[in-house]
Copies of this chain bind each other. A is one copy, B any other.
Amino acid sequence: MKKAIQDLYPDSLAHCYGCGRNNPAGHQLKTYLDGEQTIANFLPGEQYTALPGSVYGGLVASLLDCHGTGSAAAFVCQAESIPMTEAPIPVRCVTASLTVDFKAPVPMGKELTLTGKLISIEGRKIRVAMELSAGDALCATGEILAIRLREA
């Protein structure tokens, strides 16, 4: 069974509120590599309201941030033929910059799908383009510049 990239991070670097398996209070987002892209799914709880009926932008940004760093790590593993089978992998990325463009209100009560595509890897800098959709509706796009940590 394919593993989520966040389940392969070293234990000491797996406490992120958004995606760390070692943070029981957090969202525990899971990003999977699927061919040339990454994918994650998430169903927001009702408390994450913006205007009534829609999901607040902060959660959208949070999901894109964690999916972005996870995607960056996955694409590095793919590029360097690092097996994504068992923790710990020697790759962990953090965010240098994140841009989110909100295209449509994110409906509450629907499972969201995030995808990621590699733009570039230049040394320790990885750029990933992302989309966040609810069913067929594209709700937000994002781009991340992630930095690979020197020691992971």
Contacts of A75-120 to chain B: CB distance below 8 A: 94-102
| A137 touches B (CB below 8 Å) | no
A66 to B50 alpha-carbon distance, docked (Å) = 10
Minimum Cβ distance to chain B for residue A39 (Å): 19
Q: Which of B58, B97, B100 contacts A18 (CB 8 A)?
A: B58
Interface of A is mostly: mixed
Report the bound CA distance from A101 to B63 in whole Å: 16
On chain A, the number of residues with a Cβ less than 8 Å from chain B's Cβ atoms is 34
Q: A97-B102, A98-B100, A99-B98 are in contact. Are A17 and B56 (CB under 8 A)?
A: yes
Which residues 22-79 of A have a CB within 8 angstroms of B?
23, 25-26, 47-52, 56-59, 61-63, 65-66
Find A65's partner among B13, B51, B61 (CB 8 Å cutoff): B61
Contact for A96 among B20, B23, B95, B102, CB less than 8 A:
B102
Knowing that A16-B50, A16-B56 are A-B contacts, what are 9 other residue pairs whose CB atoms are under 8 Å apart, sorted by A's residue number?
Answer: A15-B52, A25-B47, A58-B65, A58-B66, A61-B100, A95-B100, A96-B101, A97-B100, A97-B102
Interface residues in chain A, defined as those with a beta carbon under 8 Å from any beta carbon in chain B: 12-13, 15-18, 20, 23, 25-26, 47-52, 56-59, 61-63, 65-66, 94-102
